[in-house]
């Protein structure tokens, strides 16, 4: 893909970010999944918790104590997700000479929640992934060949979440029938876009482009910008979609918010995403030469 096309896709995505907002819909719905909520309180999660829990599969999340109160038990070996809670705290205003004036300051608390799929019990069962979902995706030969040429290890597990694990250098994907259509994309577009997003993360391994060393919050958010732009580039290149889609823009907006809406970072992320796609393309050339 020429440099002009990379720039054109980036420009379109940036323009779309101005109008698409941040209400990203997780495509890995898996039946009873969707917008993250607490099945015990009935409340929905908000802020960055929506993004974090959507990436973990979306749907029902509650704390250990809340699940236990409903007669449920966390499955052995399950790892919870950390969520952030802001609560106003009344404290004395130190600038008040009389020491009587009170002001409110935000107190940040974190706690761990578990998905319904990590829980045993009748109450949790109604919120778990259904295994009988039809596969609404289509096989795209160009994507299959593109991914296979890299030799990346891809595991399929029915857990409603996709991620790349640097420690084992493996990609985990839900099965194809774990993806459904959203308002902005088909099930097939969602599946392939997610796979190519994780493949972009894969290029950051220390044995490849060595891009994953930064582990702080902003570093993680910036890496998500790179991966999503990399997915957008590959979707156009491989014919998954003919134009950048609104879901790319919405997802990027969420992470850009974590980076204080510094739009200049999109330009930097696009450059590194292009580098990642070029790296993946190198495997295609090597395979073609070996075949010849």
pLDDT recorded at residue 49: 86
Query: What is the pLDDT, as a whole number, of residue 108?
Result: 77
Tell me, what's the pLDDT at 30?
A: 46
Q: Find the Cα–Cα–Cα–Cα dihedral 171, 172, 174, 175, rounded to 10°.
A: 70
**What does the block give as tokens for 253?**
């907006």
Name the phi and psi angles at 84, rounded to 5.
-110, 135
Q: What distances in angstroms separate CA 37 from CA 62, 110, 162, 178, 180, one per listed residue?
A: 8, 16, 19, 19, 19
- HSE of 77, CA atoms in CB hemisphere, 13 A: 0
Specify the pLDDT at position 238. 96
Which residue reads 């994780």 in tokens? 198
- Of 262, 283, 256, 266, nearest in space to 230 by CA: 266
160 phi and psi, to 5 degrees?
70, 20
Task: Report the C-alpha gap between 41 and 147 in whole angstroms.
Answer: 42
pLDDT at res. 210: 93
Q: What is the mean pLDDT of each run of 10 residues along the chain (292 residues)?
A: 72 76 62 73 83 80 96 94 81 75 78 93 84 86 97 86 91 88 88 95 95 69 89 94 83 76 84 96 73 46
pLDDT at 292: 45
DSSP class per residue in the chain: --HHHHHHHHHHHHHHHHHH-S----S--TBT-EEEE-TTT-PBP-THHHHHHHHTTEEEEE-HHHHHHTT-EEPTT---EEEEEEEEEEEE-TT-TTS--EEEEEEEEEEEEEEGGGEESHHHHTTSBPTT--------HHHHHHHHHHT-EEEE-SSS--EEETTTTEEEE--GGG----SSS-HHHHHHHHHHHHHHHHTTSTTTT------SHHHHHHHHHHHHHHHHHHHHHTTS-SS--HHHHHHHHHHHHHTTT-THHHHHHHHHHHHHHHHHHHHHHHHHHHH-
Contact yes or no for 84/48 (Cβ under 8 A): yes
pLDDT computed for residue 81 by the predictor = 92
Dihedral over Cα of 75, 80, 86, 90: its sign: positive
pLDDT of residue 285: 73
What is the reported pTM?
Answer: 0.70
The confidence score (pLDDT) of residue 15 equals 80
Query: In whole angstroms, how far apart are CA 213 and each of 104, 205, 230, 285?
Result: 38, 9, 18, 28
74 phi, psi to nearest 5 deg = -70, 135
Report the pLDDT value the prediction gives residue 31, as an integer from 0 to 100: 43
């Amino acid at each position: 893909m020429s440099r002009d096309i990379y720039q054109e896709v980036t420009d379109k995505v940036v323009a779309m970010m101005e109008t698409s907002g941040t209400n990203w819909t997780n495509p890995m719905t898996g039946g009873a999944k969707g917008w993250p909520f607490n099945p015990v309180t009935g409340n929905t999660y908000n802020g960055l918790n929506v993004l974090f829990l959507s990436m973990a599969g979306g749907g029902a999340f509650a704390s250990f104590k809340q699940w236990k109160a409903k007669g449920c038990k966390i499955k052995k070996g399950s790892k919870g997700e950390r969520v952030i809670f802001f609560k106003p705290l009344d404290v004395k205003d130190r600038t008040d000479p009389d020491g009587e004036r009170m002001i409110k300051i935000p107190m940040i608390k974190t706690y761990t929640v578990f998905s319904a799929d990590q829980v045993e019990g009748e109450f949790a069962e109604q919120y778990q992934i259904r295994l009988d979902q039809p596969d609404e995706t289509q096989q795209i030969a160009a994507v299959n060949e593109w991914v296979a040429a890299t030799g990346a290890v891809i595991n399929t597990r029915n857990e409603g979440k996709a991620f790349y694990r640097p420690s084992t250098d493996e990609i985990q994907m839900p099965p194809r029938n774990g993806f459904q259509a959203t308002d902005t994309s088909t099930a097939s577009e969602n599946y392939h876009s997610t796979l190519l997003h994780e493949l972009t993360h894969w290029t950051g391994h220390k044995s490849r482009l060595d891009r994953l060393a930064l582990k702080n919050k902003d570093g993680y958010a910036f890496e998500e910008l790179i991966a999503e732009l990399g997915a957008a580039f590959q979707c156009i290149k491989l014919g998954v979609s003919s134009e950048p889609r609104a879901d790319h823009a919405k997802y990027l907006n969420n992470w850009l918010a974590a980076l204080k809406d510094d739009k200049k970072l999109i330009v930097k992320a696009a450059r590194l995403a292009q580098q990642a796609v070029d790296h993946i393309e190198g495997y295609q050339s090597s395979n073609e030469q070996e075949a010849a």
